[in-house]
Amino acid sequence: MTPGSPEALRAALVTNLVNSGALSEEWVSSVAAVPRHEFLPETIWADENGGDTECSRSESPDRWMKLAYADVPIVTQWDDGAEADRSMPTSSASMPTMVVEMLGDLGTAPGHRVLEIGTGTGYNAALLSHRLDAENVSTVEVDAKVTAQARTALRSAGYTPEVVCGDGSFGWGARAPYDRIISTVSLRDIPPAWLAQTKPGGVIVSPVSPLFGGGAVVRLTVGDDGTASGPFTRSAAFMMLRQQRYQAASVDDYLPGDWPGGSGQSWTEFDPEIIGGDWLAQFATALALPDVYYRRHEFGDGGWTWWLFDTAVTSWATVDSVPGESRFEVRQSGPRRLWDEVEAAYNQWTATGRPGYERYGLTVTPAGQTAWLDKPDNVIPEHRP
């Protein structure tokens, strides 16, 4: 094998993924066989050292090829294709570690019929097709241009799964029921259609991104009654399903006049930045407060104002985090005391020993979803005003 060739780089990636424990035995031959670089466009943006750096294949062929087989996420589209100011990545080839860990979570067996949501480059659909036969694989992508590119890449690499352009939150009824559904795009709420389209005993693997922050992959097993339940398996930061991107109301809708309006003042010794710097703490807080979100604004000298809002637009709160201070000013307005709720949710998490993702789980019914700790009947109470 020539050093630097796609084959050599791919073999090195397989070795790394096996050594790290991410790549399970059942997926080794697929990752070794599928040419990942054939699914990437001429210009890519690789997540290196905390920023997205652009790389063009024609200008930097060696670097481009190395990135194609590096264990990093690669952005392939911005702003739903508008690419005006590249403010939001909207399609990508996910980080190989995450791709293979999620495929491991899926627990596939030969003959399984699988639906993928979020075709993106088509790389994951190619892996599924390699292992399960393309005739057992359907994949749904919302973006027409991304769909067309994936279809072309799949065909030219020799894979022929069914590639559908549509909104994956409705699943794909035409080939249901499935043994497995895997989503490579994140959402807050697991769509009822996915439950209805999965066989009893079947598995749904999907990233979940609660509104307050944090994010993790959930592995749900569908029961005979059409509900599904299962644990989170690992932390994950994925792009949001287009239809579930949160459109927050404007601050004026919460606070029509000038701050602090008629809000009540109090003080806390709890610095909100503790939560801001802790992805798991955000996730745990989010499970207890699924309808609360925050924004933070720097006000100079390293200080941050935290704004908390509820989705029903009834209440807001602010907390000023000032470096070096031991207590922080809180303002709360509306029927809910949102900062008190956040503090209580965080304290509950620490009081239970700061459980990790794997101790949490979800139960999903056609009517909605509930989060639990350790076992499905230990439901995390949601705040209901």
Ligand X SMILES: C[S@@+](CC[C@H](N)C(=O)[O-])C[C@H]1O[C@@H](n2cnc3c(N)ncnc32)[C@H](O)[C@@H]1O
Cα dist from 173 to 7, 13, 150, 222, 300, whole Å = 38, 36, 21, 16, 53
User: How far apart are alpha carbons 74 and 96 in whole angstroms?
Assistant: 10
Question: Of 30, 94, 129, 169, which is the active-site residue?
Answer: 94
Task: Give least dist CB 202 to ligand X, A.
Answer: 19
Query: CA–CA separation, 159 vs 151, rounded Å?
Result: 9
Rounded to the nearest whole angstrom, what is the least distance from the CB of residue 159 to ligand X in the complex? 12
For ligand X, give the closer residue by CB, 80 or 329.
80
What is the total residue count of the chain? Answer: 385
User: CA-to-CA distance for 43 and 34, rounded, in angstroms?
Assistant: 20
- Look-up of token digits 């807050």: 188
Closest distance between ligand X and the C-beta of residue 21, in Å?
A: 21
Q: Could you tell me which residues come within 8 angstroms of residue 84 by beta carbon, excluding any fewer than 6 positions away?
A: none
- Interface pick for ligand X out of 35, 96, 161, 168 (rule CB under 6 A): 168
Measure the CA–CA gap between 360 and 230, rounded to whole angstroms.
9
- Each residue 172-201 as x (binds ligand X by CB under 6 A) or -, in order, gives ------------xx----------------
**Judged by CB under 6 A, which of 17, 100, 105, 141 binds ligand X?**
141
Using CB under 6 A as the binding rule, whether residue 13 contacts ligand X is answered as: no
Q: Which is nearer to ligand X, 149 or 315 (CB)?
A: 149
Residues 287-346 that bind ligand X (CB under 6 A): none
Q: Among 77, 52, 78, 79, which Cα is nearest to 67's?
A: 52
* 380 is a site residue for ligand X (CB under 6 A): no
**94 catalytic, yes or no?**
yes
123 binds ligand X, rule: CB under 6 A: yes
Cα atoms in the 13 Å half-sphere on the side-chain side of 209: 16
Q: What is the closest distance, in whole angstroms, from the C-beta atom of residue 123 to ligand X in the complex?
A: 4
Cis peptide bond N-terminal to 260, omega within 30: yes
CB 229 within 8 A of CB 220: yes
The single residue among 13, 117, 287, 330 that binds ligand X, judged by CB under 6 A, is: 117
Alpha-carbon separation of residue 320 from 123, 296, 306, 308, 329 (angstroms): 45, 10, 6, 12, 6
Stretch that binds ligand X, among 138-146, 287-295, 314-322, 339-347 (CB under 6 A): 138-146
Could you list the beta-strand ranges (E) of the chain. Answer: 43-48, 51-56, 74-78, 89-93, 114-117, 137-141, 162-165, 178-183, 198-208, 216-222, 228-235, 264-268, 292-300, 303-310, 316-321, 328-333, 360-365, 368-373
* Contact call for residue 93 and ligand X (CB under 6 A): yes
Residue 118 interacts with ligand X (CB under 6 A): yes or no: yes
From the list 75, 97, 98, 102, the residue with the least C-alpha distance to 86 is 75
Binder among 124, 198, 206, 321 for ligand X (CB under 6 A): 124
Residue 91 touching ligand X (CB under 6 A): yes
Q: Does 215 bind ligand X (CB under 6 A)?
A: no
Q: Which two tokens stand for residue 325?
A: 């201070």
Residues 231-260 that bind ligand X (CB under 6 A): 238-239, 241-243
- The count of chain residues that interact with ligand X, using the rule CB under 6 A, is 27
- Name the one range near ligand X by CB under 6 A: 163-171, 209-217, 267-275, 278-286: 163-171
- Find the helix packing angle between 96-106 and 25-33, rounded to 10°: 130
The minimum distance between CB 170 and ligand X, in angstroms, equals 8
Per CB under 6 A, which region of 23-31, 90-98, 152-160, 197-205 contacts ligand X?
A: 90-98
The CB-of-40 to ligand X minimum distance in angstroms stands at 9
In the bound state with ligand X, the residue whose beta carbon lies nearer, of 147 and 321, is: 147
Q: Which two tokens stand for residue 344?
A: 């209580």
Part of the chain binding ligand X (CB under 6 A), chosen from 3-11, 137-145, 315-323, 340-348: 137-145
Cite the active site residues.
94
Which residue ranges make up the site for ligand X (CB under 6 A)? Answer: 90-94, 117-121, 123-124, 140-143, 146, 167-169, 184-185, 238-239, 241-243
